[in-house]
Amino acid sequence: MATFPFFCLIPYLCPPILPLFMQNLIKMLPDAIANQIAAGEVVQRPASVVKELMENSIDAGASFVQLIVKEAGKVSIQVIDDGKGMSPQDALMCFERHATSKISKAEDLFAIRTMGFRGEALASIASVAQVELKTRREEDELGSLLRMEASVLKANEQVAAPKGTSILVKNLFYNIPARRNFLKSNPVEMRHILDEFQRVALANPEIKFSLVQNEQETYALPVEKLGKRIVDLFGKTYREQLATCEETTNYVSIKGYVGRPEYAKKTRGEQFFFVNNRFIKSSYLHHAVMSAYERLVPEGTFPFYVLFLTLDPAHIDINVHPTKTEIKFDDERSIYAILQAAIRKTLSLHHLIPSLDFDANVNFRHPEGASVSTGSIPSFSGSNSHRPVQDAWKKLYEGLNDNIEAFERGDVAEPTTHLFSEPVTTIQSKANTWTADSSAHTNFQVIQILNKFLVVTLSGGMLLIDQKKAYQRILFDQFSENLVKKNGVSQQLLFPQILRINPADAVLVEEILGDITDLGFGLTKDSEENYWIQGVPAGIGEEDGQNLVEGILEQVKNEASHLGQNHSEKIARILANRAAVRFQSKKLVAEEMSALVEQLFASTNPSYSPNGEIISRQLNEAEISQLIG
């Protein structure tokens, strides 16, 4: 007979004493934990702190804002301004959650013209760092000094202080080691800080800014007009590419600058939208800009633009995301149409739409990649080039006839009808079991299909090779070997090129400079901190050095930007992908096709590209018959 525990009968025998045995599960979180949870949305990295503190300085009416960072903000971040300052009571209240001077009722959310309004930033920052606040109003004789650690007030005293506010944030995430471990390398985190600094500085050219990192002043921006602010932030080369864009309607007014089409770059990041002086991200508006540049810029390139949209706050909702970089318009289609029309008008007025040259003799124009030097197979000086490729082909054929006979006897499974079925014996295993037999390689033939694929005829079958992926593998092995041996051959440029990058990307260049130098890039820096491209890796064709470096930077940023221990491997793969693009639809002569196949099988992994994609498929006679039968 089954028995039941006594406590199972309690609800029936003694209902009044049930609360004694059961407890409520829902509890209020302590303020410290609640603040840390909120900080996860507001404070994601040091750059988030920079954004919040600088925007507070703007809201305080500052005419000068200085940002001081050490070790990419991991050690300390300090923002000093000469704004209104705070009273002793306000200095205490600013660290409370949802304490703000910006709004007082729900209707205020649709009339916001300040940067902040939620009252979460300082409370979130103080919960995950050590914070020191020093502030004084102009009418006060003494200022206030407060020290906070993990949301706990450690000191509150009156001190002598200049007018304005200084906030020092030290040891970010010191009390949450797991969050601190997720931070990237210093150059990457510094690049994000520079991004935030540039956005605030662009939106407020009437304010003086300074940026000091590791005790060296990177920027000293005086009060100036927007065009001059752009040049001071991104470099003198931007002066010649700026075109004024301006349009005013009853709904929205648009002002700013767009870049000339010929200066479009392969890197993103120099595209800025500001709505009521607030930086926003909008793929919808970006599409409007790109559609205005349609057929004016090459595919995969991005024009520069800094555009300010001003409209009644009642037409937008900025309370969408904690970072406040996403907003909603009540009439997005109108914004899209007006923006597109404004940019097209600008391009037309500034004669930026190229005209046809009817006097040019087209018979003397050479199509891209038509020269023999550009399309030739790159030569390889590494150890792989000395492997006995031509002696290894007999093993490649080995087993095909046996497998076909086995299939005819019914000893193997029915082959799949899919064109790219798995080979009977993988190419990788064949490559690993080569023997030196010089009589075999002369038995194969190679043909090219659609200028994209190679078909290698084998004894009893064929091999289908993706031409571009094969080059990716070959080039990747070459560049990897160059990185290991630090002996990449450089092809010197007749005329050095200035590398047009913004300071944020310059930080990333410093991070990868050693590797791209080992690959064969020649980069020098002049007295004005500008990089000049003196040479590019040999064997990559005639691609512009600026485009190559931009492509590397763009892909590094797109891959989460944490270079880590696989630093060199990523750079080699990125450059191999870039260099192989010119072979994607390239017609090869017979010698180039044969050389490509032999070099592929001399590579470290003939089956897969450095991106993990399958390079080739092997089909035997039975599978080919099945396809057309």
The amino acid that residue 6 corresponds to is F
Confidence of residue 582 (pLDDT cuts 50, 70, 90): confident
Please give the class, per CATH, of domain 233-349.
alpha beta
The answer to whether residue 402 scores a pLDDT higher than 80 is no
CA distance 533 to 545: 7
pTM of the model: 0.65
Contacts of 473 (CB under 8 A, 6+ apart): 576, 600, 603, 604, 605, 606, 608, 609, 610, 615
pLDDT for residue 407: 42
pLDDT for residue 359: 42
- 3-state class of 115 per DSSP? coil
CATH of 32-221, one of 3.20.20.70, 3.40.50.1950, 3.30.565.10, 3.40.50.300: 3.30.565.10
Q: Which residues make up the CATH 3.30.230.10 domain(s) of the chain?
A: 233-349
pLDDT in tens, 362-388: 333 333 333 333 344 444 444 444 344
Give 508 or 304, the one with higher predicted confidence.
Answer: 304
pLDDT for residue 41: 62
Please provide the average confidence, as pLDDT, over all residues in the chain: 76
**Which range, 11-20, 47-56, 360-369, is most confident?**
47-56
The amino acid that residue 569 corresponds to is E
Residue ranges of alpha helices (H) inside 105-183 are: 121-127, 177-181
pLDDT for residue 525: 80
Q: Which residues make up the CATH 3.30.565.10 domain(s) of the chain?
A: 32-221
pLDDT for residue 77: 96
pLDDT for residue 403: 44
The answer to whether residue 420 scores a pLDDT higher than 60 is no
pLDDT for residue 114: 62
CATH architecture of the domain formed by 375-629: 2-Layer Sandwich (3.30)
pLDDT in tens, 448-461: 888 888 888 877 78
The answer to whether residue 424 scores a pLDDT higher than 70 is no
Q: Are strands 490-498 and 461-466 parallel, antiparallel or unpaired?
A: unpaired
When mean pLDDT is compared across 40-44, 509-513, 600-604, the lowest value belongs to: 40-44
Judged on CB neighbours under 10 Å (0-12, 13-18, 19+), 283 is exposed
